[in-house]
Structure 1
Amino acid sequence: MRAVSQGIHSLVGCCDWCKMSVKTILLTFNRATVPPSTLEFALTMKPSKQFSSASRFLVPLVGGILMGLTPAPVEAWPLAWVALVPIWFWVAKAQSVRQGALSGLVWGIGYHGLALFWITGIHPMTWMGVPWLASLAIAIFCWTFITLWGAALVGIWAALLFWIHQKSRISALVRVLIGTALWCGLESIWSAGSLWWTSLSYTQSPHNLVILHLGKLSGPATVTAAIVAVNGLVAEAWISDQHRRDAQELNARRLLAVTSPVKRSHLQPATLLGIAAGLLVVLHLIGFGLESRPLIQPQEAALKVGIVQGNIGNTIKLFTEGKRRALERYTNGYLKLVNQGVDAVLTPEGALPFFLSDLKRQDFYSAILEQGVVAWVGAFGERGRSYTNSLFTIMGNGETFSRYDKAKLVPLGEYIPFESVLGGLIDRLSPLEAHLVAGSPTQLFETPFGRAIAGICYESAFAEHFRRQAAAGGQFILSSSNDAHYSSEMPAQHHAQDVMRAIETDRWAVRATNTGYSAIVDPHGRTLWMSGINTYETHAETIYRRQTETPYVRWGDWLTKVLFGLAGVAGLFSQTFKRQE
């Protein structure tokens, strides 16, 4: 245990200010008799005045960067279990709410800025008629905006955590409970809005499938809570070890005629580390148990689905040559898959850049009439003078069986948030002149094979969007996307999002993308097939319709509510105990 404690101390790397604080106290009091209350204050005071400005922000930034390395392209997902430790420790040592919030903001900039750097791949937009410098400015603006939006969550959390750390009678375990509840609560608020992507939970996808299975219980909040709790326990062990060492050094110099240090926490560092390790193991064992459950796949529930990945670059997609290639490739791909005996064919978001009324005059529509096989077609829908980004179910007789309109539009790409303020700063990235409108958030997608769970591109980041459709009877996931706007890291992160949605809802997922990565994912999150990037491909696979209900599908994110309830009770008990003392 001593070695473990020393290991923690070596990670701190900033014990110089501890020694300076002790020397200052010794010189000031010069072995004078000091009341115990004064010693307690000396040991628990925030020594941030000894920090340099650089170190005060460098440590949180490094922690954020470590978390930013967990998703694609690096995919160093184990770092997520320690990357929050620096900011938790630094917030505990802050001297004011402002210091704590700024540290959180810096951590958030490191995380979200690195994880979302792929957004800069929209540059250059010269093919849209945007000058090169203006295109660069738009890309930087978008990246900065979404980075700061995500960092704001961490800043608020850090400010609240700082306040919690001021309650000296609140135990380490209660602080971890409250800190975890706060993070989950803030993620719940952010994900209910229109700009969301980087939940802590997605840092584990698609590699740590065991822990991702906790999502079946209460959605992504379960995985997020696990990550925050483990980080919090390790950080509290670090904090406890620091205070213990401060007290030992003071006692060694005979500052007081006492030999026991002030107890800021009832738990020793080794104990807290043991709890963290135990929690990590138990959570993975629970996930392993959920992952090990066999899939029941009756033959009558089988559905053979085909995918066409057209690989039509956005630089030509909406122009004459792009439309010609789209019609040729998707028609040929459809015919090839029909010959393989598929029941239906899924195409990507906006695969055929036509309004449905115009599409009916094209070769692709004629092929459907000739072959009689259902096609889910990504195209544009009309709504008055506006248009929608839609997925149509076209029957073998040419009738439109159903239509799903994209409900979650991309901020700054498909619409301008706070348009009255930002409209003059940034132009719409979509080259279409018509106004894109969102579909109803409560719509359902019927198919000849049963109700489906539909998601178009950006909607993959919103777990509740998929949960609601699964609870309403959706039997399989159809994810239609076009990630050609961005750098190659984004399609990998997008796939990671759909892996999580498949696990949470216990559904098969079929992903069709324009340029990659298209995929087939089973209810355990296993990727059975994945396309290449920037390639033209077709693929046929048998999936199975399912009507199971996970706890998350049935009750939604119940864990966050429970965490807040437990945190409230624990905090109230701690304050009551303090008054009694």
Structure 2
Amino acid sequence: MRMTIGKALPLCAAVLGGILLFLGYAGFDQFYLEWIFLLPLFWAIRDQRPKHAFQLGWCAGIVGHAGGFYWVIGMFQVFAGLPWPLAALGLLFLAAANGLLMGVWAWAVRVAALKTRWSLVWVAPVVWTALEKFWPEVFPNYLGASQYQLPLLTQIADLVGILGVSFLVVFINAVLWSVLSGWLERRSFTWRPLAVLAAVLVAVLGYGAYRIAAVERQVASAEQLSVGLIQTNQGGTAKYYDPDAIFREHQAMTVALAQVQPLDLTVWPEGICEIALASSREGQVPAFAGMKTPVLWGAVLKEMGPGSGKVCNTALLTDPSGRILGTYDKSVLVPFGEYIPFGDIFPRLYSWSPYTSRFWPGESEEPLTLGKHRLSVSICYEDIFPEKIRALMRGGREGRRPDVMFNLTNDSWYGKSTEPMEHLALASFRSIENRRALVRVTNTGISAIVDPVGRIVSRTGIWTKETLVNRVPILQGTTVYARYGDLLGWLCILLTAWCIGQALGMAGKGRSGDGAEETREEHAGAHSSRKWH
């Protein structure tokens, strides 16, 4: 019985860590829980062999991602037409795949603790940041997004991106564990890690206050663009039943809004209608001539002409006469929603998932031009990929950086869940990283305006019919992150490779005879307080 309890307690601690992870994330919004979510897992793996630490970390990751991504079940049911059991299996598979990050993190941290002199306080955030940069995910969910409500803390993203905020969150956890474990095991209080944490927080918060004040001064003197957002509260499946009615509703709401106040631009969500155009993408759309305002709108576009026929998820910009000013095709497609992996090789797969589209990925990164203003446009979940938005913000062939960012989204596939808030929170960091306002419009919510500091200054509800009008600043300039990208992530990858390489090298020497005692220590699962703290 004692052995059973001894094995069960670390597992329970890992499960608790996973629960704290998703409750502290965007959507559930208990952001302070992310400052302590790793403490149970640190306790669980403190005297485990690396392979057992991996298993416990993976367990925590599965719980955290299954709880945070529960809405994936509904997405698979509506988006891909899967029955409930297969949709639940899809969630489990996704949680297991994403949860591997925590398993590998726990393994690496334990290996480093046993075999090197590296301090856990620094190993933990370095390894986590390396994995967030390196690990491939269908839905990236950077830990730093949990802190979107704390603008003083998040302004470092214009230097080091959202990865820097993730690093800070794990660093806080590691310092707290270092102090707590030292007190539990030696009944002594260690002040040094807390002093380092205090210094780091003072620097981060001070930088945040300085940058917010500087950006606010820039915004106060900037030209403003009056933008109207149309949210009709029509779900993604509605277009299959009466697509013309959805278009007419957007049209009517746009005309009514333009009559109330002058607008520089009106924005619709993605995929509002279908349209066929020649490959030149030039021409006029008569239906937009009566709206008396430029419109940025989403459509399913089919290219016509010899050798063409490809279908794209496209954003189009039209002037008040309906003339097409520019188009942008989505390039980061949703697997099983906008294409099926290996579907080109095995076309029969599409017959098994009738609701899955078959889109062609876009290739252009050119901004759209409205008068003298340059607009960076992304579609759907492209705005949660920092490098994708950074590439769009480079300004294409001419290198003329856009003035404002726009995102056209359909979040209705996820129901009335936490996903729209998670999506918005992740997207809000693109404003900080690039110091541009972000305009996001969705068909069922949340549509929002995010200022260049990353604050959500106005927003709609979820599953509501609304219009939203606000003025957004036209800004120029760039940031360290926009110029150099994830330097912190690459540095952490190099440091992690060095640390793990050093640890595995020492383990190899131990097995050859020079370190037999140390090897026995690892296999026994004993821990070294000096190395673990």
- TM-score, normalised via structure 1 length: 0.76
Q: Distance in 1 between matches of 2:204 and 2:165?
A: 9
Match of 1:474 in 2: 402
Residue 136 of structure 2 is aligned to residue 208 of structure 1? no
Residues 269, 412 of structure 1: alpha-carbon distance in 2 compared, 3 angstrom cutoff: farther
Q: 1:391 aligns with which of 315, 322, 325?
A: 315
Q: 2:131 aligns with which of 186, 202, 207?
A: 186
Residue 178 of structure 2 is aligned to residue 236 of structure 1? yes
Match of 1:285 in 2: 206
Give the letter for the 2:409 counterpart.
Answer: S
Once the two structures are TM-superposed, the CA of residue 64 in structure 1 deviates from its matched residue by 1.3
Match of 2:398 in 1: none
Contact 2:326 2:368 in 1 (8 A): yes
Larger radius of gyration: 1
| Range moving further from structure 2, 291-300 or 373-382 | 291-300
Instruction: Provide, for residues 508-555 of structure 1, a one-character-per-residue CA deviation record: whole Å limited to 9, x for no partner.
Output: 111111001111111112222111221222222211111121111111
Where do 1:62-461 residues align within 5 Å? 62-95=16-49, 97-122=50-75, 124-125=77-78, 130=81, 134-167=82-115, 170-172=117-119, 175-190=120-135, 193=136, 195-205=138-148, 207-244=149-186, 269-293=190-214, 294-297=216-219, 301-320=223-242, 323-339=243-259, 340-351=261-272, 353-357=273-277, 365-366=285-286, 368-383=288-303, 384-417=308-341, 431=355, 435-440=358-363, 442-461=365-384
Q: Distance in 1 between matches of 2:175 and 2:474?
A: 41
Contact 2:340 2:349 in 1 (8 A): no
Instruction: Provide, for residues 462-513 of structure 1, a one-character-per-residue CA deviation record: whole Å limited to 9, x for no partner.
Output: 1111122223312111011011011321111111122211122111111111
Residues 330, 571 of structure 1: alpha-carbon distance in 2 compared, 3 angstrom cutoff: closer
Once the two structures are TM-superposed, the CA of residue 295 in structure 1 deviates from its matched residue by 3.5
Please identify runs of 4+ aligned residues in structure 1 that moved more than 6 A.
420-428, 566-576
Residues 299, 81 of structure 1: alpha-carbon distance in 2 compared, 3 angstrom cutoff: closer
- Indicate the SS of the match to 1:373: coil
5+ residue gaps, structure 2: 279-283, 396-400, 507-513, 515-533
| Range moving further from structure 2, 306-315 or 49-58 | 49-58
Q: Equivalent pairs: percent with the same residue?
A: 25
Q: 1:558 aligns with which of 487, 495, 498?
A: 487
Once the two structures are TM-superposed, the CA of residue 375 in structure 1 deviates from its matched residue by 1.0
Contact 1:194 1:408 in 2 (8 A): no
Match of 2:12 in 1: 58
Q: 1:462 aligns with which of 385, 389, 392?
A: 385
Give the letter for the 1:228 counterpart.
Answer: V
Contact 1:120 1:143 in 2 (8 A): yes
Q: Distance in 1 between matches of 2:276 and 2:358?
A: 17
Q: Distance in 1 between matches of 2:165 and 2:403?
A: 24
Once the two structures are TM-superposed, the CA of residue 367 in structure 1 deviates from its matched residue by 5.0
- Superposed CA RMSD: 3.2
Once the two structures are TM-superposed, the CA of residue 447 in structure 1 deviates from its matched residue by 3.8
Residues 409, 513 of structure 1: alpha-carbon distance in 2 compared, 3 angstrom cutoff: same
Residues 170, 424 of structure 1: alpha-carbon distance in 2 compared, 3 angstrom cutoff: farther
Contact 1:502 1:524 in 2 (8 A): yes
- Indicate the SS of the match to 1:381: strand
Instruction: Provide, for residues 122-174 of structure 1, a one-character-per-residue CA deviation record: whole Å limited to 9, x for no partner.
Output: 3654x98x5xxx5212321331222112101111111111110112x5153xx
Q: Distance in 2 between matches of 1:550 and 1:404?
A: 24
- Indicate the SS of the match to 1:452: strand
Q: Distance in 1 between matches of 2:375 and 2:367?
A: 8
Residues 209, 388 of structure 1: alpha-carbon distance in 2 compared, 3 angstrom cutoff: same
Q: Distance in 2 between matches of 1:64 and 1:197?
A: 17
Residues 484, 213 of structure 1: alpha-carbon distance in 2 compared, 3 angstrom cutoff: same
Residue 441 of structure 2 is aligned to residue 512 of structure 1? yes
Residue 460 of structure 2 is aligned to residue 540 of structure 1? no
5+ residue gaps, structure 1: 1-16, 18-48, 246-266, 359-363
Contact 1:348 1:377 in 2 (8 A): yes
Once the two structures are TM-superposed, the CA of residue 82 in structure 1 deviates from its matched residue by 0.9
Once the two structures are TM-superposed, the CA of residue 89 in structure 1 deviates from its matched residue by 3.4
Contact 1:337 1:539 in 2 (8 A): no
Once the two structures are TM-superposed, the CA of residue 243 in structure 1 deviates from its matched residue by 4.1
- Indicate the SS of the match to 2:373: coil
- Indicate the SS of the match to 2:299: strand
- Indicate the SS of the match to 1:219: helix
Once the two structures are TM-superposed, the CA of residue 327 in structure 1 deviates from its matched residue by 2.0
Match of 2:522 in 1: none
Contact 1:91 1:161 in 2 (8 A): no
Instruction: Provide, for residues 204-223 of structure 1, a one-character-per-residue CA deviation record: whole Å limited to 9, x for no partner.
Output: 12x11221212111111110
Instruction: Provide, for residues 389-411 of structure 1, a one-character-per-residue CA deviation record: whole Å limited to 9, x for no partner.
Output: 11011123332221111111112
Once the two structures are TM-superposed, the CA of residue 429 in structure 1 deviates from its matched residue by 5.6
Give the letter for the 1:376 counterpart.
Answer: L
Residues 203, 421 of structure 1: alpha-carbon distance in 2 compared, 3 angstrom cutoff: farther
- Indicate the SS of the match to 1:416: coil
Give the letter for the 2:465 counterpart.
Answer: Y
Residues 136, 567 of structure 1: alpha-carbon distance in 2 compared, 3 angstrom cutoff: closer
Contact 1:416 1:428 in 2 (8 A): no
Q: Distance in 1 between matches of 2:332 and 2:127?
A: 25
Q: Distance in 2 between matches of 1:161 and 1:307?
A: 47
Instruction: Provide, for residues 168-226 of structure 1, a one-character-per-residue CA deviation record: whole Å limited to 9, x for no partner.
Output: x5153xx3323322211111123xx4613311011112x11221212111111110110
Residues 421, 61 of structure 1: alpha-carbon distance in 2 compared, 3 angstrom cutoff: farther
Once the two structures are TM-superposed, the CA of residue 425 in structure 1 deviates from its matched residue by 8.6
- Indicate the SS of the match to 2:374: coil
Q: Distance in 1 between matches of 2:498 and 2:355?
A: 54
Once the two structures are TM-superposed, the CA of residue 571 in structure 1 deviates from its matched residue by 9.2
Pairs aligned (count): 489
Once the two structures are TM-superposed, the CA of residue 65 in structure 1 deviates from its matched residue by 0.8
Contact 1:416 1:423 in 2 (8 A): no
- Indicate the SS of the match to 2:107: helix
Q: Distance in 2 between matches of 1:510 and 1:564?
A: 33
Contact 1:105 1:152 in 2 (8 A): yes
Q: Distance in 2 between matches of 1:108 and 1:573?
A: 26
Contact 1:60 1:90 in 2 (8 A): yes
Contact 2:105 2:131 in 1 (8 A): yes
Give the letter for the 1:453 counterpart.
Answer: S
